A = this chain, B = another copy of it.
Amino acid sequence: METYTGIPEELRLAVLERIKPTAPEREKLLEIQEELASEVKAAAEKLGISGVLVKMVGSAARDTWLSGTHDIDVFISFPEETPRKDLETLGMAIAREVAKLAEHAEDRHAEHPYLNIIYKGFDVDLVPCFRVASASRIKSAVDRTPFHNDFIKPRIKGCEDEVLLLKQFMRGGGVYGSELRTQGFSGYLTELLVIHYGSFENTVNAACFWKQGEKIDIMQHTEIEHVEPLVVVDPTDPRRNVAAALSLDKFCMFIDHCRELLKSPELSFFFPAALLPLQDREILKRLESRKSAQFAIVFKTPDVVEDVLYPQLYKMEQAVAALLSEYNFSVIKTGVWSGKNETVIMLELISGTLPNVKKHIGPPVWVKVHAEKFKEKYKGADDVFGGYVENGKYVFEIRRKYPMAKGLLEDRIMSCSLGKQVHQSVNEGFELIENTGICRLKDPDFRVFLRKWM
């Protein structure tokens, strides 16, 4: 329909100017990486731990990091035959030794424990891992990372700018980041796309035509079927889909973002204008214009990491929508926002009230036993308006238990299947806000969320 223009060189340059690390920035990072490597070695020596190697991995090690990010991944690698328990205790001992020099340190946990520190302003992960002979022999998910590094580094040489452009473009489209909150594209995935398609522009061109189930297998080394929307076979492990964390919607949003870029290549696709918090009067105006029913379930944000919190919030979002549907409320959409203090599940309904009368359809009259039981139960019972036969079935007009969504939520929210920490927090107390009451929530970030919401 449209004539696709290419991506103008000026645009590429304008983007790169903003996102490509400057020479001093890179020197600084290298310096810090080297310092960390020596510190790890010194710590191992001091603790009398032998056989330890240090490996810098991640985008910092591959020159595919965006200016302004300060993430360094330091892998502390142990011989393959090291017992799992030793890896954890000795690895963490070394990490803690290094952490003595850090501004801040925090224990984290993936498959194994690792240490996250702030070191001279850099966000550093110190991750113990096994030094296995090949990616197919990994003992823990993190053991894969050094192999990723080995695969990417030689192949991305000369294409680093392409990766930077793609990452920034994905950021602009809200699809960058493979954490459970975003469910988007990981850095490694971005690099693989550039290696596969050759450039940022080629990736964008190709993605416009992606279909659900799109498969990319650079090494052509698997026939395994995956169910995810995008399948990018890990070149270092044929069984693994690098895009497994990518949700269907983020996959589609990326396709959409690519098509839009090609229609009118503009800087805003990389750097969207920041949205302003929605003002009270705008909220009121939009509520009046939409005339739907808005509900906000507000509770204290549980004190857990995002990768634990967000799956629970998404689960709650689904469960609450299912509860409302079960009681005949029509859900238009649901949303999640979580801030430092408060978390909000947003619900937009066709209406927050339903009539008292509810049509309850029973079995066909000729299914004798069931039909008679059904009739027995409702005929002449309290709170039954009437009964009749329709399409061969008994129908009773009964009194709806929850004619108000508010009452239903107040009564039954705790019966929803909620994750552990969210359940705990909601159980301690929650607030149900309707329509104009939403103006009570002042957090500017929530108000930005609201601008997209309504």
Contact = CB atoms under 8 A, between A and B. Distances in A.
Nearest to A254: B365
A391 interface: yes
A403 B351 CA distance: 12
Nearest to A373: B1
A228 interface: no
A391 B249 contact: yes
Contacts of A209: 368
Interface in A355-386: 355-357, 359, 364-366, 368-369, 372-373, 375-376, 385-386
Given A255-B365, A364-B252, A365-B256, A390 B290 contact: no
A292 interface: yes
Contact of A249 (B293, B356, B389): B389
Contact of A253 (B229, B369, B389): B389
B368 A289 contact: no
A353 B293 CA distance: 12
Nearest to A367: B211
B369 A290 contact: no
A206 interface: no
Nearest to A256: B365
A414 interface: no
A69 B280 CA distance: 74
A332 interface: yes
A195 B335 CA distance: 67
B291 A390 contact: no
A364 B1 contact: no
Contact of A403 (B255, B291, B390, B452): B291
A210 to B, nearest CB: 6
A291 B385 CA distance: 12
Nearest to A400: B291
B357 A391 contact: no
A215 to B, nearest CB: 13
A392 B252 contact: yes
A333 interface: yes
A355 B252 contact: no
A248 interface: yes
A259 interface: yes
Contact of A368 (B208, B351, B375): B208
Contacts of A385: 289-290, 454
Nearest to A332: B359
Contacts of A403: 291
Given A212-B392, A351-B351, A392-B229, A365 B291 contact: no
Nearest to A354: B350
Nearest to A368: B209
Contacts of A291: 353, 355-357, 403
A367 to B, nearest CB: 8
Nearest to A452: B386
Interface in A262-313: 289-293
Contacts of A394: 256
B373 A357 contact: no
Nearest to A335: B388
A364 B214 CA distance: 14
Given A1-B372, A391-B248, A290 B255 contact: no
Contacts of A355: 290-293, 332, 350-351
Contacts of A212: 364, 366, 392
For the complex of A and B, list the 3 residue pairs with the smallest distance between their C-beta atoms, beginning with the closest.
A292-B355, A252-B365, A290-B357
Given A252-B365, A332-B359, A350-B354, 15 more contacts: A208-B368, A248-B392, A249-B391, A249-B392, A252-B364, A255-B365, A255-B366, A256-B375, A259-B372, A291-B357, A291-B403, A292-B357, A293-B355, A351-B351, A351-B354
10 contacts: A252-B365, A252-B393, A253-B389, A256-B365, A259-B372, A290-B357, A291-B355, A291-B356, A292-B355, A351-B351
